Structure 1
Amino acid sequence: MSNLKKLAGQTAIYGLSSILGRSINFLLIIVYTAYLTKESLGSFTSIYALIGFLNIVFTYGMETSFFRYATGKQLDPQRVYQSTQSLLILTSVALGTGLYLSAPLLADWMDYPGQAYLFRWTALILSFDAVLAIPFAKLRLDNKAFTFATAKLINIGLNVGFNLLLIIAFPYWIRIGILPSDFLGYQIDWGVEYILLSNLLANGLIIPFVWWKAGFFNFKIDGKILKPMWAYSIPLLFMGLAGVTNELVSRLLFEYLLPENFYPGLSSREAGGVFGANFKLAILMNLVIQAFKYAAEPFFFKESENENAKQIYAQVMHAFIIFCSFLMIAISVNLNWIGPLFLRSPGYEEALFIVPVLLMGYLLLGVYFNLSIWFKVTDKTQYSFWITLLGAAASIVVIWFLVPKWGFMGGALSTLITYLLMTVVCFYFGQRYYPIPYQTGKGISYLLIAFGLSYVGFYLSLEHHVAEFIFRNAMMIPFALLLLLREKALWLKIKSKIKS
């Protein structure tokens, strides 16, 4: 239990920074939907989906590989850090330069004629992200959770500050005459441009602080260290691409696959903006998973040599499913007021009905992350390659056929179906090569019941708003009663801990 307490404690720290930071960042959706056009939101959705894909290419699995080899007994962690960071700098410069020079072609391909500067800024954002990845990983490995959290919050604070300055403050000051209309070349009609520029400035300014806190390094490429790390990380590159394919490909391709006038009064790019804004409402589930991942990845590796490792992995999985199932119900049944609270302009609530599906998809992503530990600790990362290909293919097929027919729901189902397929396949092979005593039956039943209660609560409608709120949230009571009946041992253990 001490190990689980340690994991819970670090998850709380990472979770606080991740949830607080991303929640602050999430609040920008209020600014975007209030001050920018749906077309700008559509551009934001598709360009940041592209950034999500390319971010995986720029880091190519080296973060996880760093954890694997820096925690081993054979290699000096500092040498691993120096070589890994040096390699990331070299490849970031190469990939960033290639993307920068290809910006005009990419702008035309994505239907942004004359806006190649958007993709030049994208190249710089991706390069800055890549050279920060290993220093952030080293902070986690060194258990410097508070330093990690501080750096993340500073970065997000800068990003939010620049967004507010460029999207709200400058136009207002120009309008009332405090600033001249051509102040610093300000373009009043820009939208997604200022989102990208804010991101670029925030990432660039945080680099010195993170490098300083992680420990400056000597630039050195050690082939003996990097050769096995490279072999280990390449399959993880494909696994990462599978994750972002499932999460982002629907937002990247949505506007291009949706027929014109599918939704009256909305262009395909505007509909993409509505779709992307509603995707943001599922962020709370993603925040929990991200916080869990920050703490769990180094924890899983360190516990891999423990004789009770498999039991610990099973306990973590069970607790994860219970907590996230509660969260899915709580968010879904309150979407009737959460949606209008964050999506400030009319028309965005049209896609609210897809949010419970997205929440379930993100939950399955967390389950998949738990399951994937088997091929990481057994060095069978080649299996991630095949699972990746299967997931990516399924995601593209679902989007290709369902978005033109079902619009918003077609895009959301791609997330759910792909993560479900990857989870099932990963579980099957994991139980063959590294069997872990998961409580599979209970876990599946909890997920299905929670998903059903989520939609019952979402569609429940009463004339009296207070009564509706009470009855919607009462959907959590049957789930709580089920847990009381089926998790007696867990509650008794918690009760004894409280008494002691």
Structure 2
Amino acid sequence: MSNLKKLAGQTAIYGLSSILARSINFLMIFVYTSYLNKEVVGSFTGIYALIGFLNIVFTYGMETSFFRFSTGKNLDPQQVYNTTQSLLITSTLFLGTGIYLLAPWLAELLDYPGQAYLFRWTALILSFDAILAIPFAKLRLSNRAFAFAGAKIINVLLNVFFTLLLIVWIPSLIVSGSIREGYLGYQSDWGIEYILLANLFANGLIIPYVWWRAGFFRFSLDKEIIRPMWKYAIPLLFMGLAGVTNELVSRLLFEYLLPENFYPGLSPREAAGIFGTSVKLAILMNLVIQAFKYAAEPFFFGKSTDKNSPQLYARVMHAFVIFCSVLMVAISVNLEVVGYLFPRGEGYETAFFIVPILLMGYLLLGVYFNLSIWFKITDNTKYSFWITLAGAVVSVVVIFTAVPSLGYLGGALSTLVCYLVMTAICYYYGQRHFPIPYQTGKDVGYLVIAFVLSYVGFFLDLDSAGLNFFAKNSLVVLFLAWVGYREKELLGAVLQRKKAS
């Protein structure tokens, strides 16, 4: 129980920093839309999608490899850190230089003529991100959650400061006459340039701080460590690339597969915007999963050599399913309230009915993350690629077949079916290679009941707003009571431990 308490505490710290960082970044959208034109905002979306994809290439699974080879391999953790960081710096030098030299070609290919400097700055941003990855991973492995969270928040605040300075404050000073046009080379017609520069400055300035907090390293390329790490990491690279496909493909293809006039009065692109808004509501589940992943990955590896680790992994999975099932019900029954937290106009609520499906899809992604520990600690990472590829294929097939006939529902089902298939395959092979005594029957039962209650609460519509809110949230209380009844032995053990302490 103390292990679970420790994991829960660290997840809360990671979650707070992750939610705060993403909330601040979300609020920056208001700055971009208020001070920059739509073309610039479109450039921001496109270039940062490219950055998100290439980030996986630049790190190529070495974070997870670092966790694996720092624990349970009878290797010196400091030497593993030295080698991993040195390897990433070396590969980043080659990859970053390649993109830097290809910048003119990329500018022409992506329709940014004469703006090759944008992709040179992109190469630097990617390089800074990559050489920060392992120091951040070391902070996680060392259970220094506050140091990790603090560095992440400082990075975000620096980004906000430079964004406001370049996009809001300096233009205001120019307009007021406090400084002249062109001061220090400032160009008023720049937009996406200043978004990239703010990111570049923030990442560059945080490097010394993060390296200091993680502990400086000695450059070393130990071939005896690199060879098995490469073998372990490369499947994770392809898993990451396939995972990006699973995450983004529905939003990328939705507008192109939806027939004209499928939704009267809406173009396919407008319908895709409504679909995307509903996806954002479901991201609330993803925040929890991301926070859990930050804390759980080093935790799982740290316990991998414990003879009782399978039982511990099963308890973690059970607690995760319970917490996320309750969260799914709570969000689903309160979508009318949650929906007002997001920028919205007329018509966005028409797709809210798919949110419980998306929430279940992301919850299954979290279950998959729990299950995936078997191939990470048994060095069978080749399975990660094939499982994720299977999910990507299923996702694309469902999108192409369901969106033209089901619209929003088809897009949501692609997410749900993708992660359901990945979870089922991972569970099947995991129990063959590294059996873990999961409470499968109970966990599946919680998921099914939570999904049903989510839709009962979503469609519940009473005449009185107050009564409606009370009735919807009574379903959350009812679910919690049922879980408490099913887990009375666990609750009794917790209370017993508290009395003893």
TM-score in terms of structure 1 length = 0.89
Is 2:137 aligned against 1:132?
no
Q: Distance in 1 between matches of 2:435 and 2:21?
A: 37
- Change over 3 Å in CA distance of 1:305–1:32 after alignment to 2: same
How far did 1:298 drift?
Answer: 1.4
- Residue 228 of structure 1 corresponds to which residue in structure 2? 228
Higher relative contact order (CA 8 A, sep 6+): 1
How far did 1:79 drift?
Answer: 1.6
**TM-superposition CA deviations, 1:408-445 (whole Å, max 9, x none):** 44333322221111000000001111111111111112
Q: Is contact 1:44–1:273 with CA below 8 Å preserved after alignment?
A: no
Q: Distance in 2 between matches of 1:261 and 1:166?
A: 42
- Residue 378 of structure 2 corresponds to which residue in structure 1? 378
- Residue 65 of structure 1 corresponds to which residue in structure 2? 65
Q: Is contact 1:47–1:252 with CA below 8 Å preserved after alignment?
A: no
Query: Which amino acid in 1 is paired with 2:123?
Result: A
How far did 1:240 drift?
Answer: 2.0
Q: Distance in 2 between matches of 1:40 and 1:347?
A: 25
70-79 or 28-37, larger mean C-alpha shift: 28-37
Is 2:11 aligned against 1:11?
yes
- Residue 367 of structure 1 corresponds to which residue in structure 2? 367
Q: Distance in 2 between matches of 1:346 and 1:201?
A: 39
Q: Is contact 2:72–2:304 with CA below 8 Å preserved after alignment?
A: no
How far did 1:166 drift?
Answer: 4.7
Q: Secondary structure at the match of 2:220?
A: coil
Q: Secondary structure at the match of 2:11?
A: helix
Q: Distance in 1 between matches of 2:47 and 2:396?
A: 18
Q: Please provide the CA RMSD for this pair.
A: 3.0
Q: Distance in 2 between matches of 1:375 and 1:209?
A: 34
Structure 2 residue runs without a partner (length 5+): none
378-387 or 16-25, larger mean C-alpha shift: 16-25
Is 2:153 aligned against 1:153?
yes
- Residue 250 of structure 1 corresponds to which residue in structure 2? 250
- Residue 316 of structure 2 corresponds to which residue in structure 1? 316
Q: Secondary structure at the match of 1:289?
A: helix
How far did 1:168 drift?
Answer: 4.9
Structure 1 residue runs without a partner (length 5+): none
Q: Is contact 1:239–1:384 with CA below 8 Å preserved after alignment?
A: yes
- Change over 3 Å in CA distance of 1:71–1:494 after alignment to 2: same
- Residue 489 of structure 2 corresponds to which residue in structure 1? 489
Q: Secondary structure at the match of 2:341?
A: helix
How far did 1:130 drift?
Answer: 1.0
- Residue 91 of structure 2 corresponds to which residue in structure 1? 91
- Residue 49 of structure 1 corresponds to which residue in structure 2? 49
- Residue 453 of structure 2 corresponds to which residue in structure 1? 453
- Residue 78 of structure 1 corresponds to which residue in structure 2? 78
Q: Is contact 1:53–1:245 with CA below 8 Å preserved after alignment?
A: no
How far did 1:95 drift?
Answer: 1.9
How far did 1:52 drift?
Answer: 2.5
Q: Secondary structure at the match of 1:341?
A: coil
- Change over 3 Å in CA distance of 1:460–1:125 after alignment to 2: farther
Q: Is contact 1:282–1:355 with CA below 8 Å preserved after alignment?
A: yes
Is 2:101 aligned against 1:122?
no
- Change over 3 Å in CA distance of 1:188–1:281 after alignment to 2: farther
Q: Distance in 2 between matches of 1:447 and 1:485?
A: 16
How far did 1:67 drift?
Answer: 0.9
Query: Which amino acid in 2 is paired with 1:438?
Result: Y
Query: Which amino acid in 2 is paired with 1:396?
Result: V
- Change over 3 Å in CA distance of 1:364–1:70 after alignment to 2: same
Q: Distance in 1 between matches of 2:353 and 2:118?
A: 32
% identity of equivalent residues: 69
Q: Is contact 1:282–1:358 with CA below 8 Å preserved after alignment?
A: yes
Query: Which amino acid in 1 is paired with 2:446?
Result: Y
How far did 1:29 drift?
Answer: 4.7
- Residue 336 of structure 1 corresponds to which residue in structure 2? 336
Q: Secondary structure at the match of 1:474?
A: helix
How far did 1:378 drift?
Answer: 1.3
Q: Is contact 2:141–2:299 with CA below 8 Å preserved after alignment?
A: no
Alignment length, in residue pairs? 499
Q: Distance in 2 between matches of 1:258 and 1:107?
A: 30
Query: Which amino acid in 2 is paired with 1:429?
Result: Y
How far did 1:237 drift?
Answer: 1.4
- Residue 413 of structure 1 corresponds to which residue in structure 2? 413
- Residue 144 of structure 2 corresponds to which residue in structure 1? 144
How far did 1:325 drift?
Answer: 0.9
1-10 or 232-241, larger mean C-alpha shift: 1-10
446-455 or 99-108, larger mean C-alpha shift: 99-108
Q: Secondary structure at the match of 1:282?
A: helix
129-138 or 23-32, larger mean C-alpha shift: 23-32
- Change over 3 Å in CA distance of 1:437–1:150 after alignment to 2: same
Q: Distance in 1 between matches of 2:471 and 2:392?
A: 39
**TM-superposition CA deviations, 1:300-350 (whole Å, max 9, x none):** 112112121111110000000000111112222222132232215556545
**TM-superposition CA deviations, 1:77-99 (whole Å, max 9, x none):** 22211111111112122222333
155-164 or 114-123, larger mean C-alpha shift: 114-123
- Residue 295 of structure 1 corresponds to which residue in structure 2? 295
- Change over 3 Å in CA distance of 1:315–1:200 after alignment to 2: same
Q: Distance in 1 between matches of 2:310 and 2:279?
A: 34
TM-score in terms of structure 2 length = 0.89
- Change over 3 Å in CA distance of 1:364–1:24 after alignment to 2: same
Q: Secondary structure at the match of 1:306?
A: coil
How far did 1:226 drift?
Answer: 0.5
Is 2:281 aligned against 1:304?
no
Q: Secondary structure at the match of 1:356?
A: helix
Is 2:439 aligned against 1:435?
no
Q: Distance in 2 between matches of 1:405 and 1:110?
A: 32
